[in-house]
Amino acid sequence: MQNIIDRFLSYVEIDTQSDPHSTTTPSTEKQWVLAKKLEQELKQIGMSDVTLDDNGYVMATLPSNVERIIPVIGFISHYDTSPDFTATGVKPKIITNYDGKDIVLNPEENIVLSPNYFDDLKQYKGQTIITTDGTTLLGADDKAGVAEIVTAMEYLINNPHIRHGAVRIAFTPDEEIGRGAHKFDVKKFGAQWAYTMDGSQIGELEYENFNAAEVVVSVKGKSVHPGYAKGKMINAINILNEFLSLLPKKERPQYTAHREGFFHFHSIEGNVSQAKTTGIIRDHDRVKFDARKELIEQIVGDLTDRFGNIITLEIQDQYYNMKEKVEPVMHIVDIAEQAMLALDIEPIIKPIRGGTDGSQLSYMGLPCPNIFAGGHNFHGPYEYIPVESMERATDVIVKVIELTSKYYDEKED
Ligand SMILES: [Zn+2]
């Protein structure tokens, strides 16, 4: 247990916050500190082909120890943390044998992690929990994933009696700003499929995510002295308001769950002469996703018929549901599910209401479901992770590698 705790703590103490306003990769200079440390550490535990490229992507190989040909599989996590909350000076607290009661993170500011509010905590009674001191995020998203992958590799290196094919691992920058996959060299990685270790609670296994698009609607109005505006003024705000009112009222994030999609317009700015709103479209179903885009086009078309050519519509696809790419190779999900069942972990298979790097990678030719890394309450001061969940995630990695080799053994017989 101490090994993975120490490893995890050595990562979270390094500030690796990414920055959406930067155009470099990694987006922040400080991410290099952890990237270089990981490069060194992988060499030190005995990994092969350890590389750190110009964009901060760390890759390494655990070579096969069998003669047979087994597909190369991969494990991926990101080492940056969210720009939503500070990661400077992370001072983790370790609570052993958690008693199931309130955890006071910060007595001075009365910041309390309470199971009455965060009821997931209750299931971890008796376990060892790592929290923040209430002033930063923790960075379990996704340094837990990094620690689990490194620990699993170390375990396999130290236990060569476990027979396995070649395994590739990768650690990426900038996942939190949506760019983790952007400069990922899928060809160099060379795996047939991979898993991101970037989920939340123990048991999570995900291979469905949203189809996603961003929408910007801008209106050019006509500003005229309001006292003499009759028949002349076109108020851009009113037209934008009408656009928003024509969208289905129940299809908003606050009214939807599971596989229900939505429209979400999250920002609006403007005055009489020009106004702009930005929003997103999300839907797991590709047909419904396309229908949502068509509905917006139709509403804008109708408004244009009424008010003239003063509305500009931009719709940009962001990512797609990985299910399309994973279903043809469904055994990669089955193997992960079997690995959990073999370890007495109940698989929680549900669609992600968001996207992952895995969805982008899946469309880049690397099918990539997501497995739990164990943490909770990401991107804020209430983030925590039970050490037992990190250990279990490490076990799942080892088991997936074992079962992959068995799966191809049996196929050959
Ligand atoms: Zn993450």
C-alpha 214, offset from chain centre: 18
- Indicate yes or no: pTM above 0.75: yes
334 annotated as ligand-binding: no
Give me the mean pLDDT over the 55-79 stretch: 96
User: What percent of the chain shows pLDDT beyond 90?
Assistant: 96
* pLDDT tens, residue by residue, 78-109: 999 999 999 999 999 999 999 999 999 999 99
Measured in angstroms, how far is the CA atom of residue 144 from the centroid of ligand 1?
A: 9
Stretch 294-300: mean pLDDT: 98
Q: How far is the CA of 367 from the centre of ligand 1 (A)?
A: 18
Domains annotated for the chain, with CATH where assigned, are: 2-208+322-412 (3.40.630.10), 216-318 (3.30.70.360)
* Positions marked active-site: 80, 175
Asked whether residue 377 carries a pLDDT value surpassing 80, the answer given is yes
The answer to whether the Cα torsion of 193, 197, 198, 204 is positive or negative is positive
Q: What is the pLDDT of residues 186-234, one digit of tens each?
A: 999 999 999 999 989 999 999 999 999 999 999 999 999 999 999 999 9
User: What is the predicted pLDDT for the residue at 413?
Assistant: 53
The gap from C-alpha 24 to its chain's centroid, in whole angstroms, comes to: 20
Half-sphere exposure of 405 (CA within 13 A, CB side): 16
- E strands, 320-412, are 348-349, 370-372, 384-386
Beta bridge partners of 385: 130
Strand partners, 199: 372
Write down the pLDDT at residue 409. 79
Q: DSSP E strands: which ranges in 207-347?
A: 211-220, 262-270, 274-283, 311-319
HSE-CB for 49 with a 13 A CA cutoff: 14
What is the rounded CA–CA span in Å between residue 59 and residue 195?
A: 14
Residue 4 pLDDT class (50, 70, 90 cuts): very high
331 annotated as a binding-site residue = no
CA 76 to centroid of ligand 1, rounded, Å:
11
Categorize the per-residue pLDDT at 412 as very low, low, confident or very high, splitting at 50, 70 and 90: low
334 Cα to the center of ligand 1, angstroms: 23
Which residues have C-beta under 5 Å from ligand 1, the single-atom ion? 141-142, 198
The DSSP bridge pattern shows strands 73-78 and 193-199 to be: parallel
Please check if 344 is assigned to a binding site: no
Q: What is the pLDDT of residue 356?
A: 85
Going by C-alpha positions, the residue among 200, 76, 83, 77 that lies closest to residue 137 is 83
- Determine if residue 198 is labeled as part of a ligand binding site: yes
pLDDT tens digit sequence for 140-183: 999 999 999 999 999 999 999 999 999 999 999 999 998 999 99
Contact by Cβ (8 Å): 149, 77: yes
